Homo-oligomer: A and B are copies of this chain.
């Protein structure tokens, strides 16, 4: 059975079990080494990348489908996952161009619709806990700097940019720190995250004052050592206070 045969069989299964004409794409954000990252898949046999995505089973809620895709690609459950935009243009991308770059005949026969509406989700995950896992259509799954994206199929470049815009807007009301940071972290590391999302530097004294003033962090006795400078304290989130601050809309950094 050739790959092309397998592909046709794969799409037949999808057409049978899933809602046709609707897909979802997940922009999975992580944070590592002062950079905001996004998880991408490399299309088999090409140098083209795309977002993790999938279809919605006939008896499955769309949010659950997004959770499933995310679990399959990262190994994580109970992620912070949020709808952000429905990409519903009749001609979202240049189909000819994409097929050519995908280097394979797309098995679009009778039942397959000739336009797909895609729901965009973004997820915030702890980079250190993710096991990037490719899917049937891809051979590599890996992280990319949001500022240094490779060649992307479909309209996925636009989807990432809309996700990033949304993330910036929601920085103040969403538990972005909690979901993107590892369990223990230093205040300067958290500041790097906010700077990476906002795309501009913040004043360390004001940041420190603000973040500690919210009482959402607990300072541990440990410190992060090993660098040629003063060892910063490690902190972790105080969950009850964090939730409270979110509800009250206090997590503001403009």
Contacts and interface: CB of A to CB of B under 8 A. Distances in A.
Contacts of A115: 19, 58-59
Interface in A238-254: none
Interface string A34-75: 000000000000000000000010111111010000000000
A107 interface: no
A186 interface: no
A86 B58 contact: no
Interface string A85-120: 110111000000000000000000000011101010
Given A22-B22, A83-B85, A90 B61 contact: yes
Query: Oligomeric state, in number of copies?
Result: 2
A21 interface: yes
Contacts of A58: 90, 113-115
Nearest to A65: B88
B56 A88 contact: yes
Contact of A63 (B63, B83, B88, B113): B88
A198 interface: no
B117 A88 contact: no
Contacts of A117: 19, 22, 56, 62
A90 B56 CA distance: 10
Given A19-B117, A62-B86, 7 more contacts: A19-B21, A20-B20, A20-B21, A56-B117, A59-B115, A86-B86, A88-B119
28 contacts: A19-B21, A19-B113, A19-B115, A19-B117, A20-B20, A20-B21, A21-B21, A21-B22, A22-B22, A22-B117, A56-B88, A58-B90, A58-B114, A58-B115, A59-B90, A59-B115, A60-B90, A61-B88, A61-B89, A62-B88, A62-B89, A63-B88, A63-B89, A83-B85, A83-B86, A86-B86, A86-B119, A169-B173
